[in-house]
Structure 1
Amino acid sequence: MKLTVLGCYGPYPKAGGACSGYLLEDKEIKILVDCGNGVLSRFFQHCHDINELDAIFISHLHPDHMSDLMVMKYAIGIGQMQGKVKQSIPIYLPSSPKEDYDRIQYNDAFVRHMIAEDTEVNIKGIKINFKKTNHPVECYGMSFEKNGKRLVYSGDTKYFPELEVFAKNCDLFLCEGGILEKDITENTPHLSAKQAAEIALNANLKRVVLTHFWPETRPYNLYAEAREVFPNILELAEEGKAYFI
């Protein structure tokens, strides 16, 4: 499987950047994971025809993870009316907040599927499972597995021990870790770089890609904080870069 980072910032992008969005591919399969601000434009740099898209998975309905669905629905819906888009795109997402869930639909652009912890999806041989995270709105981490190789995406979350179990022994852990430990408070709904590294260490992981960067934080400082904890392959997500699983 190949994972291309389309956007890696939150809760807003830096100049020239985009919020959370990732393109997962395997041969003829194309899956979009999250679709925050600026992601649709990046998507079209890699997929010239939206008919190539097999499915969309959304971790939660905060704008930095789903706001470009508000324009993607027009790209699909208008394309359908013009005969250019052949079918509705399956989208898997939480059902709450309800007002955001309802706003996503436009004509027949999407076929919506609500997700929960016990949901299991199979997209052309890629098996997807979910883990509810600790975030102010309903949010899910995701596991993508094919041919014995597994990618786990944390979504947005505070630390909770079950995430270590969910990610255990995966081949690549795409984990939010975009703020420094010194900026974490009891009410911070995100992981620090140090916490992400601790999860990876406890989950017996060999490779971690940190993502969801606060635009004001220097990436090197995030890397240095995580490196103090995690001795194995550690990378910072780079927009446009592909990671192979």
Structure 2
Amino acid sequence: MKLTVLGNNGPYPKPGGACSGYLFETDDKKILIDCGNGVLSRLLKICSISDIDVIILTHLHSDHISDIMVMKYAIGVNKMKGKCNVTIPLYTPTDDYEMVKRLNYNNSFNIIPIEEDTIINLDDIEITFRRMKHPIKTFAVKIRKGKKTFVYSSDTSYNESLIDFSKNADLLLCESGLLEEDREDNAPHLSAKQAGEIGKKAGVKRLILTHFWPEYNLERVKIEASQSFDSILEISQEMKTYYI
């Protein structure tokens, strides 16, 4: 299994960067998790849209979904021209009905609601979800294949549920949108220190940090997380592939 980071900024990209988007691959399956601004052009450097088996949107904030709004035309217009005939399963929270309606064009996607009991089975891959603490409905994602487990936190403030959901994961991709000095009590994002604490308490083998404020010095982010996490710790790099 492997994970390619297509974008890792939020809520807007740094110059030349992109917001949240991650391509998870096995030998024969491709799963796109989130599709923020700048993600589609990077995805197309790796594969065609029609190669994607499933798309998962963890929540409906723009920095996680904005390139879906153009991907729908890439699929829908080419359908009208007879150049493609795909309808990609797209799993998403559906509480914002007006936003969900805007996601589709000419049956580009088969939109399927995500709830906490949602399970996706793709051959020997199992995908499950856990509700996180964020201003809108947001889900962490867990992907299991064989004995390997990958967890993506999505956006969240500190919560014990993420620790439980990530227990003993081989890789936790965890948001660290803040430095501790900038975090307020009601902040909807984790600080790097909190991300490290979650990784340690969950006993994850490897922690990769993501969803960075574009103005931050990422070495400071890593140093802060390392104060509470003493196993393998990395700063995610855009267009880098990580093996699980």
Partner residue, 1:127: 126
Distance 2:83 2:43 in 1: 17
SS of structure 2 residue aligned to 1:199: helix
Within 5 Å, give how 1:1-245 maps onto structure 2.
1-47=1-47, 49-245=48-244
Matched residue of 1:194: which SS?
helix
Deviation at 1:101?
Answer: 1.1
Question: 2: CA distance between counterparts of 1:206 and 1:115?
Answer: 27
Provide the aligned length of Structure 1 versus Structure 2.
244
Distance in 1 of aligned mates of 2:243 and 2:35: 21
Poorly superposed stretches of 4+, deviation over 6 Å:
none
Question: How much does 1:82 deviate?
Answer: 2.0
- Give the Cα separation in 1 of the matches to 2:20 and 2:59: 11
Alignment check: 8 A CA contact 1:21 1:65 kept: yes
User: What SS does structure 2 have at the residue aligned with 1:60?
Assistant: coil
Letter in 2 for 1:28: D
Separation in structure 2 between the aligned mates of residue 81 and residue 124 of structure 1, nearest angstrom: 31
For 1:107, give the aligned amino acid: N
Instruction: Provide the C-alpha distance between the structure 1 equivalents of 2:177 and 2:232, rounded to a whole number of angstroms.
Output: 17
What amino acid does structure 2 have at the position aligned with 1:24? F
Tell me if the contact between 1:180 and 1:225 (Cα under 8 Å) persists in the aligned partners: yes
SS, match of residue 45 in structure 2: helix
Q: What is the deviation of 1:96?
A: 2.1
| Alpha-carbon distance in structure 2 between the residues aligned to 1:115 and 1:70 | 19
- Give the CA deviation at 1:75: 0.4
- Return the letter of the residue paired with 2:68: L
**Whole-angstrom CA distance in 2 between matches of 1:178 and 1:125:** 33
Aligned-pair CA distance for 1:84: 2.2
8 Å CA contact 1:210, 1:237 repeated in 2: yes
Normalised to the residue count of structure 1, the TM-score between the two structures is: 0.98
Shift of 1:125: 2.2
- Could you say what the CA RMSD is over the residues aligned between the two structures, in angstroms? 0.8
The answer to whether the 8 Å contact 1:57/1:93 transfers is: yes
- Provide Cα deviations, 1:175-225, integer angstroms capped at 9, x if missing partner: 001310111102210000000000000001120000000001110000000
- Residue identity matched to 1:20: S
Give CA deviations for 1:43-71 in whole Å, capped at 9, x if unaligned: 00101x22211010010000000010000
How many Å apart are 1:105 and its aligned residue? 1.2
- Per the normalisation by structure 2, the TM-score is 0.98
SS of 1:113's equivalent? strand
Instruction: Find the aligned partners of 1:124 and 1:34 in 2 and give their Cα distance.
Output: 22
SS at match of 1:72: helix
Partner amino acid, structure 2, of 1:176: E
> For residue 137 of structure 1, what is the amino acid of its counterpart?
I
